[in-house]
Each structure stands twice: as C-alpha cells, then as structure tokens.
Chains A and B, each alone.
Chain A
Amino acid sequence: MSHERGARHERGARRERRGAMSGGLARGSTLPLRRGLLLVAAPAALTGLLAGLARVGLPMPWGSSYALEHGPLLAVAVFGTIIALERAVALGQRWAYAAPMAGALAAAAMLGGQGWAPWAASASALGLALINVVLVRKQLANFTALMLAGSALLLAGDLLWALGEPIARVVPSWMAFFVLTIAAERLELSRLAPTPRWAKSALVALASGLGLATCALLAELPGAARALGATMGLLGAWQLRFDLARRTLRMSGLPRFTAASVLLGAGWLVISGALLVAFGLPRAGPVYDAALHGVFVGYVLSMVIAHAPIILPAVAHLRLPYHRAFWIAPAILHLGLLARVLGDLLAIQPLREFGSIANVLALLAFAIAVFWARRARR
C-alpha cells in the first residue's frame, strides 16, 4: 500500500518535472479552474430549471423571478459554457479558457440580475469562435468549419440579444449553434463508419443550408423558418439513417447508452423540424414551446446526458462508471418531453405540467444514478 503510494508520488513528481522541462505547466493544472466553472454552471442550471417550471405555471418557491431568463440560463449560460469548456480542454491552450470563463461570468451575471450578462455571453461566444478558428487552422476539414460556423451564429445571436433584441427573435441562432456543433461532431465520427461520400456531402449541404436559413430568419426574410425546419428535420433524419450511433447501438454498456440517446435526440430534431415546416416559428405560444423544447431538451439535453459519462471524466477528472440505472434518465426525459409537446399541441395544460416536471426529474434521476454508480464501484 505505502509502496504503491510512494510509486504514485514518484510518478507525480516525474510528471511535474516533465511539465517544467517542456516549458509549460504540468498537465492537469487547469483542473481546479475547470471544476470551478462547472460549479458556477450548476446553480445556473438549477435556477434555469426552476424558472422553466415557473413558466409552465407551476408555483415555485424560487426561480419564478428568473422566468424570462429560463432559456438564456440553460442554453447560453450552461450548455454554452460547457461546450466552450470542452473545446478549451481539446485545444489545451490556457488562453482558450477565457471563453468558458466569460460564459460562467454570464451565468453569474444572469443570476445576479445584471443587464450586462448578454455582453459576457457574447465575449464567451467570441472566445469559442476564436478557439474554433485555431482548430480550423490545425485541421482544415468540413467538420471543423461547421463548428466555426455554429459558433459564429452563437456570437451573432448573443450580440443581437445584447443590443436589446427579444429572446424569441434571437433563439434560432442559439438552436443553430447547437445543431451545427453536434452535426459537425457526428460528421467527424462518421469517418469511422463506412458512410457513403454522398451522405457526407448531403450532411454538409444540409448544415450549410441550416446556417443560411438561420441568417435569413434573423433578417426576417419570408419562408426562413420553414427552411430552417426543413434542414433541421433532414439533419435529424440523416442521423437516424447514417449516424455512427447506429453501429455502436449494437455494442453494450456505455457505447450503447450513448448511441440510444443520440438517436432519440435525432428523432426530436425531425419532430421539431416538421413543426417548423408546418407552422413556421411564431414568437410565442404552443408551437414555439414545442419546437424549441424538441431541440433544446429532446436533442441538446439528450446529447448532453449521452456524453456526460464521457466528457465529465475528461474535463473534470470525475469518474462516471457506467451503470444500468443511467437508462432511467433518458426514459423519463423523452416520455416527459412527449407529454409536454402533446400538451402543447393539444392544449392540455396538465400534460404540459406533467411533462415539464418529468424533464426536471429526469435530470435528478441521472444525478442519483451517477452517485449510485460511483458508490457501487467504490
């Protein structure tokens, strides 16, 4: 035991020396910062969720005063910061952490009711775009270019928001950011499977079309929302047909869990896309609610849960050993979302409320499952 600890200590010291020799800091030295950023994102996430329940009309002890901030808190402050952090870790250069730091600052500013929060979010988006510029220069490829395009749309949306545009008007650019970022990641992974060349070209064309449709929608051009819906729905269909997840779904354990969540998310992208094609994108009301939550909960949150057991160990060095109990969360999440969207479209308020509560409970279930799995492995 003590010998083992001694050996480990020796290795640690060796690693420190190595870091010093190579002129940079020892690997892992940004770890406290990374964990700190996640700690700032946590209360923002909780507040955003409670604010969401308040928006549906449920009485909330806390969070109802943040009702207007529900979307920005979760989409921009929480998911935006996590993606910026992920990319900063990938790049491995210290300056890159300015992007998630500005995102966490935006989260804190929103919680503190500060009017400059959108500017902090814009700074974070700018930082993420710069990280993506460096990544494009490191590897010029269709998927790195799509990531850059996605972050440019995030920046555009955040700046319009900072300049006073209403959230309902800028929200398509936030959707486009997530859809393009995820499409880029799936395109990258598609190289590992025998994906036909035409299918890869189709994905790039659809993603480019989605970016253009988003710009057209920001410029309030007619038909833009339907074009956004069509490209979005087809991207979801592309994933259902070609995504690598179709192969990894046949494996077991974590790869299978991740694949299932990826494919379920793609299904929601098809549904949200179809809603936009059928109804356009109103600035409020049931269709707005259903389409947005199809994307942000069904697609983005599902993707976040799918990858949490992969990304949290990488980013925060937190072990999330796979456990069968993980499956409870996506089951509640997707059934809850189905109830919510049906409640929206059929105007059944109790169904909306039930679905919204289920979506929050899904996250709680995931947290419990993670805690459980960690204990079981100890």
Chain B
Amino acid sequence: MPALPEPDPARARALEALREVIDPELGLDVVALGLVYGIRIEAGEPERLHVELTMTTPACPLGESIVRDAEARLEALDPEREVHVQLVWDPPWDPGRMSPEAKQALGWDEP
C-alpha cells in the first residue's frame, strides 16, 4: 500500500477489515489490488469512518456490491461508528497500485 501513509491503530484495523473484501474473479482483496484510496476517521458523536474505494474501471458492475461488503465489514468493527464508503474515480486506477503480493499472485515476477 504505497499510496497510504503509515496508518494509526484505528485506521490499521479498518485496513485489516478491508483485506477481507475480495474481488471474486481475481480472488484478491481490495487492499492488495490497490483499490483503497483513503481511510479517514472523523471525531464526533458518533465517530465517522470515511473510506474511498475505486474499481479498476467504471464499466465494472461489482462496484456497488464491493462497497456493500466493505461497509458491512467496517460496521462490524464498531457498530456505534458511522461508516461511509464511497466509490471514487479520480485518479484512475493503474496496475502500479497493486501490492507486491498481488502482483506475484498474477504472475508479474515470472519471466
């Protein structure tokens, strides 16, 4: 996850939860695929968790269901917290955002 700065514990937990959100065709999670653009926690009553996700393309019909999955897993972390997961398209996703593990799984280090 080179795009995100070193996360604090609460954001790290959110990031861990997002590792359970799997793209069903690729069998890889949204964090490894570099689809998580931002995690922000806003203090308040209730506390708010904002997550920005992207898809590899807006033509993909999985966006909505991946957002729902992410919301369910983030809400399970803390039912008192308000969770906002938003799909964003700027900047467009590119393969450089994939983690080394995801790249390895898809054959990037083979000759």
Number of interface residues of B (CB under 8 A): 31
Q: Mark B74-111, 1 if CB is under 8 A from A, else 0.
A: 01000100101000010010110010000001111010
Number of interface residues of A (CB under 8 A): 45
Choose one: A7, A14, A87, A258; the contact of B25 (CB below 8 Å).
Answer: A258
Give bound CA distance, A87 to B58, whole Å: 9
A192 CA to B60 CA, complexed, in Å? 14
Cross-chain contact B24 with A310 (CB below 8 angstroms)? yes
Which chain B residues border A252 with CB–CB below 8 Å? 27
Is B62's beta carbon under 8 Å from chain A?
yes
Task: Report whether A310 and B84 are in contact in the complex, using a CB–CB cutoff of 8 Å.
Answer: no
Q: A14-B82, A138-B89, A255-B24 are in contact. Are A244 and B106 (CB under 8 A)?
A: yes
Say yes or no: A247 contacts B58, CB within 8 Å. Answer: no
A315 near B57 (CB under 8 angstroms)? no
CB distance from A52 to the nearest CB of B (A): 28
Complex: A248 Cα to B27 Cα, angstroms? 8
Among B24, B33, B64, the most chain A Cβ lie within 10 Å of the Cβ of B24
Tell me the minimal C-beta distance from B81 to chain A in angstroms: 10
A307 CA to B68 CA, complexed, in Å = 19
Mark the stretch among A70-78, A89-97, A355-363 that contacts chain B. A89-97
A255, B26: Cβ atoms closer than 8 Å: yes
Chain A neighbourhood of B95, CB < 8 A: 191-192
Interface secondary structure of A, over-half rule: helix
A188 touches B105 (CB 8 A): no
- B residues within 8 A CB of A193? 106-108
Chain B residues positioned under 8 Å from A90 (CB to CB): 58-61, 63
Instruction: Provide the residues of chain A in CB contact with B89, threshold 8 Å.
Output: 138-139
Are A138's CB and B58's CB within 8 A?
Answer: yes
Q: How distant is the Cα of A359 from the Cα of B82 in the complex, in angstroms?
A: 49
Contacts of B26 in A (CB 8 A): 192, 244, 248, 255
CB distance from B67 to the nearest CB of A (A): 8
In the complex, whether A314 has a CB less than 8 A from a CB of chain B is yes
Report Cα–Cα, A301/B30, bound state, in Å: 28
Question: CB-CB < 8 A to A315: which residues of B?
Answer: 61
Q: In the assembled complex, which residues on chain A have CB atoms less than 8 Å from the CB atom of B98?
A: 192
Provide the bound-state CA to CA distance between A191 and B60, in Å.
Answer: 14
Which interface residue of A251, A255, A315, A317 has the most chain B CB atoms within 10 A?
A: A255
Q: Known A-B contacts: A193-B107, A258-B24, A315-B61. Give 18 more (CB < 8 A).
A: A11-B75, A14-B82, A90-B60, A138-B89, A139-B59, A143-B57, A184-B59, A185-B59, A188-B59, A192-B56, A248-B106, A251-B105, A254-B27, A255-B27, A307-B25, A310-B24, A314-B64, A317-B65
